[in-house]
Structure 1
Amino acid sequence: MVTTSQSGSAARPPAPSWAVGDHTVRRIDEISLPAGTGPWLLPGATTDLVTETPWLRPDFADARGILRLASHSFALEAGGMRVLIDTGIGNGKQRANPAWHNLNSDYETRLREAGFAPETVDLVVLTHLHTDHVGWNTRADGDAWVPTFPHARYLTSRAEWDYWSGVEMEEARRQMFRDSVHPVREAGLFDLLDVEDEGTYIAPGIRLLPTPGHTPGQVAVELSSGGERALITGDSIHHPVQLSHPGLCSCVDIEPELAVRTRHRVLDSLAGTSTLLLGSHFPPPTAGRVRREAGAYRLSPTASENVPVRG
Structure 2
Amino acid sequence: MKLLVCGAGGQVGQALVVQAASLGYQAIAMGHDALDITRSDQVDTALARHRPDLLINAAAYTNLDHAEAEVAQARAVNARGPGNLARAAASFGIPLFHVSSDYVFSGAPGRPLRETDPTEPTGVYGATRLAGEQAIQTTHEQHLILRTSWVYGLYGNNFVKTMLKLGGKANELFVVDDQIGCPTRAQSIARVLVQLAHRYQLLGSLEWGTYHYCSREPCSWHAFAVAIFEQAVRHGLLSRSPRVWPISSERLPRRAPRPAWSVLDCERIERTFGIVPRSWRNELPHVIQLLGELPARPFHPAPSRVPYRVYR
Q: TM-score, normalised by structure 2?
A: 0.34
Query: Which one has a larger percent helix, Structure 1 or Structure 2?
Result: 2
Q: TM-score, normalised by structure 1?
A: 0.34
Larger relative contact order, structure 1 or 2 (CA cutoff 8 Å, min sep 6) = 2
